[in-house]
Structure 1
Amino acid sequence: MTTTAPSRPSLTQRLRGVSGEVVKFGVVGLVGIFVNFGVSNAVLHLTGWAPVRCSVIGTAVAIAANYLGYRYWVYRDSDAASRRREITLFLIFSGVGMLIENGTVWFSTYTLGLTGSLAYNVSKAFGTGLGTLFRFFSYRTWVFKAIPELAEPAAETAAAEAPAAEAPAAEDGPAVIAQAERLLTTEGVQFAK
């Protein structure tokens, strides 16, 4: 039995595959930005608290809203077998994104001495952009992992190569199972036993 190694998709094909994900991620992100800026500015102007504290509150509320969008829309097809692991990683990476975002607010307020609504929102926007880049790559890489799919072309190739007249006998069951496991292993698909 000969097998062919699956060809890797070209860069253009990979970018096309990611483009829909990027658009959905962007929509959820925009909702999160409106929530983040709305909540943080409301808290800032209504309470008079420190800018970084208000920014952290807005970011925390946006993280909760974004999780719902990512889990149930953008990455709804991802492996949800270990929800505790997913939520833990989501919160860790969101926390790092929060530090990136609110670090820019802290830097502009306390290091550069820039105060006022415009300076606050510009520094928050800059930090949100940096945090979003970090979150996108960390969420898709570590948090919302895709479910491995069986490679249908490989199965079709194996079926086409097998002679039609040779049907496995009942006593050949273990051999057929071993052959199927080898095929799945070569395709990079692994199942828990």
Structure 2
Amino acid sequence: MSSSVRAHAAKMASFLVVGGAAFVVDAVVFNLLTFWVTGRGPLFDQPLLAKTIAIVLASVATYVGNRYWTFARRRLRLRFSRYVMFAVLNLVAIGIQLGCLAFSRHVLGLEGPIPDNISGTLIGQALATIFRYLTYDRLVFREDEGDPELLTEETA
């Protein structure tokens, strides 16, 4: 196996581990807000708001994990535009997940822990993770080459 294939596999594996941790944050927060322990949480009637809160919290975890682990070896300049791009791409990813949940709830008429978690957490997050992997690699954590003011993992 070539070193570039190994490097890509390692990057993908760490991205998936970070995504797995974010999945847990998303699922736990969403289920607590929507279904609590009794089956009807404080945001039961507002599952899209509950999912938005869960995704935002999970997104913070993904930024930290991806910046300091998945893409840690990349030489990155600290830029405000990098944070803006991360936020914009996460808004799109949130839209993907909310779209899956809204379709299940409002078009198919499915409601409850199982359909909400299948549509919003499993399917929605799987699609959003693919989107994030492709866009983070190219747009958020793109390496800045040839710039003397770059931060490496030692200086970040």
Smaller-chain TM-score bracket: 0.7 to 0.9
Match of 1:85 among 78, 81, 85: 81
Aligned residue for 2:153?
A: none
**Structure 1: 5+ residue runs without aligned partners?**
1-10, 149-189
1:44 aligns with 2:34: yes
**In 2: Cα distance, 1:102 partner to 1:12 partner:** 39
Q: 3-state DSSP class of the match of 2:89?
A: helix
In the alignment, the residues of structure 2 paired with residue 25 and residue 13 of structure 1 have an alpha-carbon distance, to the nearest angstrom, of 18
Q: TM-score, normalised by structure 1?
A: 0.68
| Matched pairs, number | 141
Q: 1:142 matched to which residue of 2? A: 139
Say if 2:59 and 2:90, in contact at 8 Å, map to a contact too: yes
CA distance in 2, matches of 1:56, 1:101: 9
Structure number with greater CO (CA < 8 Å, separation at least 6) is: 2
Q: Secondary structure at the match of 1:99?
A: helix
Counterpart check, 1:20 vs 2:17: no
Can you list the C-alpha shifts for 1:93-124, whole angstroms capped at 9, x where unaligned? 11111101110000010011011110000002
The SS at the match of 2:76 is: coil
When normalised by structure 2's length, the TM-score is 0.83
Identity across aligned pairs (percent)?
Answer: 27
CA RMSD of aligned residues (A): 1.8
Asked if structure 2 preserves the Cα contact closer than 8 Å seen for 1:101 and 1:127, the reply is yes
Amino acid aligned to 1:112: L
5+ residue gaps, structure 2, are 36-40, 149-156
Is the contact made by 1:77 and 1:147 (CA closer than 8 Å) also made in structure 2? no
CA contact (8 A) 1:108 1:119 kept: yes
Confirm whether residue 123 of structure 1 aligns to residue 123 of structure 2.
Answer: no
**Alpha-carbon distance between aligned partners in 1 of 2:107 and 2:117, rounded to the nearest angstrom:** 16
1:191 positional shift: 4.9
Greater radius of gyration (CA): 1
Residue 157 of structure 1 corresponds to which residue in structure 2? Answer: none
